[in-house]
Structure 1
């Protein structure tokens, strides 16, 4: 670590402390050249994968966009904010744990559909109708029948 005062490369760690939350390490350092002291912080840096859209363009992952699309599907449905937060957290964990630098938007859509199906069947059908671009009533009927079958056979 370079000294911020004299830019010498040789600095020594005097003291190390972990934050109460456990997500940051604070280090007091001393420059061997000018003897000045300074503090550095270490934090975990996780980066979400870039989202590759259907048209091939790439965009940064936007948690607000994910939340917005889920909230639109869940509009006027009896699902708590905590349940939505947990679903979003679960989706983000899946994206991070994949280790991929890029993820197809279709994969994100499938993760959202899986979470919505678990949270609220009506919201799932709403989201699926837009995500899968339903063209006619028959496609709605197919998804409703699928949800109905799963309700009768909860083993799925």
Structure 2
């Protein structure tokens, strides 16, 4: 730690104390050259959300990256900009509400998939095909069949007309 007064590289810790809530450590330091005393605070570096990738790498949560993935899925679809913004906010809020500061990229992908499935089926298929890295047409077809089956389960036939057609 460099001295903020003279810039000397050598300082020593005089006193160390934890904060009341245990979230940081307060250290009193003294410069070994000019005897200037100052205070530093240590806090965990990952106060913000982190995403653990499939390869094990951990990177900061990037709202813009989330938005870009959803934008690619809804490209040329009739999905309003406000809907995409709401999706991003909802997904981020769900992640923030968790007790942990590190979430898996798989968890984020599942959240996006669930939300897109309700918004636009084609966007959902686009997103899932990339997210799940479909390598065979059969994988794509299985997911498409699942979406179509769900659509048929929710299909309600129109009520028959009370008046018979005139012949």
Higher Cα radius of gyration: 2
TM superposition shift of 1:48: 4.3
Q: Secondary structure at the match of 1:87?
A: helix
CA distance in 2: counterparts of 1:87 and 1:76, whole angstroms:
17
1:93 is matched with which residue?
93
| Length-normalised TM-score, structure 1 | 0.67
1:102 is matched with which residue?
102
4+ aligned runs moved over 6 Å, structure 1? none
Q: Which runs of 5+ in 2 are unaligned?
A: 1-46, 156-167
RMSD: 1.4
| Length-normalised TM-score, structure 2 | 0.63
CA distance in 2: counterparts of 1:95 and 1:48, whole angstroms:
11
CA distance in 2: counterparts of 1:53 and 1:154, whole angstroms:
35
Contact 1:113/1:128, CA 8 A, preserved across alignment: yes
Contact 1:48/1:96, CA 8 A, preserved across alignment: no
TM superposition shift of 1:117: 0.7
Q: Which runs of 5+ in 1 are unaligned?
A: 1-46
CA distance in 1: counterparts of 2:64 and 2:154, whole angstroms:
32
Query: 1:1-156 maps to which residues of 2 (within 5 A)?
Result: 48-154=48-154
Contact 1:74/1:123, CA 8 A, preserved across alignment: yes
